[in-house]
Copies of this chain bind each other. A is one copy, B any other.
């Protein structure tokens, strides 16, 4: 597709807006994200930004999608290095990629997995796809592991009221893991977000843990065990 100079300039400006927006996220947070401030950094009059972005909420949505994509790419990149067949190893690589990205981009991580932004609701049709990339990759790992008989999950009872929802997830994701594995996956995912948030958001207190990387490794081992990954060979 041949691009006119005008189209290239537009794409460039669009990228600049997202880059500047993310920088502002770091300093002021999502609630204070301001089109005027973005325009200022872009070297342009405030109204000019409206050529690129419908309004403030639209800019937030762009940042959400961009953030999910960057995180998804990071996890994909990590998994592309993973040894085939070592499912526990794959899980750990993905989990480490999540933490590394969150620590590198704490403000964007907060936008995606922290407190909701008051008055803003991400439009499902634009964010659901990018927003579920990581969890889909994770469940994919469990799916293959389960098929290969590498998931030593002893029988756990799953509440009956969850069955329908779990079946829906199975259909949407095209996986065949049993309820117990799927429900444990939801547990591990939420727990993993909790561990990362605790560190990124400073929930442990200022100086409680010096080597938070080691703590995360310890936490991941427990999570990997709980979903039935056998120890790495």
CB contacts under 8 Å to B, within A30-69, are 30-32
A2 within 8 A of B: no
Residue of B nearest to A180 (CB): B218
**Oligomer copy total:** 2
A166-222 CB contacts (< 8 Å) to partner B = 168-169, 183-184, 186-187, 189-195, 197-198, 201-206, 208-211, 214-215, 217-219, 221-222
**CB atoms of B28 and A118 under 8 A apart:** yes
For A111, what are the chain B residues with a Cβ–Cβ distance below 8 Å?
115
A85 within 8 A of B: no
- Nearest-neighbour CB distance to chain B for A39, whole angstroms, equals 20
Q: How large is the interface on A (under 10, 10 to 19, 20 to 34, 35 or more residues)?
A: 35 or more
Q: Which of B29, B161, B192, B203 contacts A118 (CB 8 A)?
A: B29
A162 x B113 contact (CB < 8 A) = no
Residue of B31, B161, B215 touching A29 (CB-CB under 8 A): B31
Known: A165-B208, A210-B164. Is A219-B115 also a contact (CB below 8 A)? no
Q: Which residues of B contact A32 (CB under 8 A)?
A: 31-32, 118
A contact residues vs B (CB 8 Å cutoff) = 27-32, 110-111, 113-119, 124, 128, 131-132, 156, 158-159, 161-162, 164-165, 168-169, 183-184, 186-187, 189-195, 197-198, 201-206, 208-211, 214-215, 217-219, 221-223, 225-226
